[in-house]
Amino acid sequence: MAYKTFVDRIIKEKNAQHEAEVLHQKSLVLENIKAQEEERKRIAVMIHDDIGNRLNILSLWLNNLDTKGDELIKRNIHNQMSALIDSARTISHSLYPVNLESVGLVLYIEELIVNLSHKINISLHVAPGYRKKSIFIEVQLYRIIQEFTTNVIKHSSATEIWIYIKDYPDDMIVVITDNGQGFDYESVKKGMGISNIESRIKSMNAVHKWKNVLQKRSRLIIKIPYHNEPSN
């Protein structure tokens, strides 16, 4: 009896130690992602607000130049300025979704869809009753969708991506599916694309499942509990 009690106590202590280690690892992942996002946000805002505004001012000055100048040179300069403005905006958005907090997740995803429309057809369905989430959750979801679509465009022959978002009383479900060639999870799970997605899912205290069919599709299902949202 005493031996069994001793063994039970050892098992209990090991289980508690394991749970503490898991919580510690989750905390490290969350803090790491938060630190990365803060640095990305700082750089993105600098590009968006400082460089972007300066380029816009230069463009306005260029438009007000004496019209007697060489029109071809002015047109070439104007085209270069427009390209620089677009490039600054693209870099800013790729670093951090600067306007997401004011615009909201749904409109920001719709903007991403428009920006990628020349590369792939993306459909978004948001079930009625969607409720705005914390900025941390919405940024992570946007990043996951962005990473998923980037991976599909780079590595799959897909022509369609479907995004489905639905709120339930206790949690939120997000499903992202493509019609590409799929992938073997065990072969690619250590790659940066999958690792980044799964780290962000873990940071939201969410659970997920990949349901891939080779030569047919890849699908990611994410379930995010409301009561367990990490604080900003």
Contacts of 110 (CB under 8 A, 6+ apart): 124
Q: Domain extents for the chain?
A: 2-95, 100-225
pLDDT at site 202: 87
Pairwise pLDDT comparison (83 vs 204), residue with the higher score: 204
DSSP 2-52: HHHHHHHHHHHHHHHHHHHHHHHHHHHHHHHHHHHHHHHHHHHHIIIIIIH
Name the helix (H) or strand (E) containing 126: strand 121-126
Using only the alpha carbons of the chain, give its radius of gyration.
23
Percent of the chain with pLDDT strictly greater than 90: 29
Alpha-carbon torsion (85, 144, 194, 38), positive or negative:
positive
Confidence of residue 231 (pLDDT cuts 50, 70, 90): very low
Share of the chain above pLDDT 70, in %: 68
Identity of residue 200: R
Instruction: Please tell me the predicted confidence (pLDDT) of residue 232.
Output: 47
What is the value of pTM for the model shown?
0.66
Q: pLDDT tens digits, residue range 29-73?
A: 667 676 666 666 667 666 666 676 777 777 777 666 655 556 776
The CATH number given to 100-225 is 3.30.565.10
pLDDT of residue 101: 79
Interatomic CA distance for residues 93 and 85, integer angstroms = 12
Q: In 3-state terms, what secondary structure has residue 86?
A: helix
Which one has a higher pLDDT value, 151 or 227? 151
Distances from the Cα of 150 to the Cαs of 65, 134, 155, 198, in angstroms? 41, 24, 8, 15
pLDDT tens for each residue of 151-165: 899 888 899 999 999
